[in-house]
Amino acid sequence: MKPYPFSNLSLDKQVFNYRLSRARRIIENTFGITASRFRVFHRPINAKIEKVVAITKAVVALHNFLMVTKENNGIDCYCPHSYVDRESPAGVIPGDWRQDARNLNGITHIESLRSSNNYGVDARLVREEFKNYFNNEGAVSWQWDIIRKTI
β-strand partners of 88: 91
Task: Please enumerate in sequence order all residues whose Cβ is within 8 A of that of 86, keeping only pairs 6 or more positions apart, or say none.
Answer: 92, 93, 95
Q: What is the pLDDT of residues 11-31, one digit of tens each?
A: 999 999 999 998 998 898 888
Q: Which residues of the chain have pLDDT under 70?
A: 101-119, 150-151
pTM exceeding 0.75 = no
> Rounded to an integer, what distance in angstroms lies between the CA atom of residue 40 and that of residue 59?
9
